[in-house]
């Protein structure tokens, strides 16, 4: 789907920053650090970048991943997410390469819902598998 259709379907206005951000995510096959996203622009205000990332996340276009090093990364949602259900409710695993440290979404492997006994309230779950990606093997 092209960037214009993608943004219209999400109910977002078409702006040069939003269009470029869709292109950046579409070109990546892994989750991106904010700095990687920022480097895809010819100068962008960090506040604009932050607000655009936030609106994309709220609309279910991207999701935020905290990798094993504690860094925040963003990945485009493979399946369509409804904004009111989005708080990263797609139950898929992530793979982080030990060598290049890139993080990938593995959409076709679902995480089963896990009930924790006792007085715990589960608000999310994240499983990250580590190893070497195809490029580093």
Residue 124 falls inside a structural domain: yes
Residue 137 falls inside a structural domain: no
Residue 58: helix, strand or coil by DSSP? helix
Residue 97 falls inside a structural domain: yes
> What pLDDT score was predicted for residue 123?
78
Q: What is the distance between the alpha carbons of residues 125 and 92, in angstroms, rounded to a whole number?
A: 9
- CB hemisphere CA count around 48 (13 angstroms): 12
> What pLDDT score was predicted for residue 8?
92
Q: What is the pLDDT of residues 41-56, one digit of tens each?
A: 998 999 999 999 999 9
> What pLDDT score was predicted for residue 24?
96
Residue 98 falls inside a structural domain: yes
> What pLDDT score was predicted for residue 67?
85
Q: What is the pLDDT of residues 70-120, one digit of tens each?
A: 899 999 987 555 454 444 456 788 999 999 999 999 988 877 778 888 898
- Band of pLDDT at residue 125, cut at 50, 70 and 90: confident
Domain that holds residue 50: 3-131
What pTM was estimated for this model as a whole? 0.81
Domains contained in the chain, number: 1
- Give me the chain's average pLDDT, please: 87
Supply the CATH number for residue 52's domain.
Answer: 1.10.10.10
Residue 136 falls inside a structural domain: no
């Amino acid at each position: 789907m092209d960037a214009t259709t993608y943004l219209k379907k999400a109910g977002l206005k078409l702006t040069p920053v939003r269009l470029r951000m869709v292109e950046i995510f579409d070109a990546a096959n892994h989750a991106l650090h904010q700095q990687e996203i920022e480097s895809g622009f010819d100068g962008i205000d960090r506040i604009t970048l932050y607000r655009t990332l936030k609106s994309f996340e709220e609309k279910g276009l991207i999701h935020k991943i905290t990798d094993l090093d504690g860094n925040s990364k963003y990945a485009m949602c493979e399946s369509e997410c409804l904004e009111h259900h989005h708080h990263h409710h797609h139950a898929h695993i992530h793979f982080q390469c030990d060598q290049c440290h890139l993080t990938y979404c593995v959409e076709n492997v679902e995480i089963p819902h896990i009930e924790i006994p006792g007085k715990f309230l589960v608000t999310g779950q994240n499983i990250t598998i580590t190893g070497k990606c195809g490029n580093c093997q």
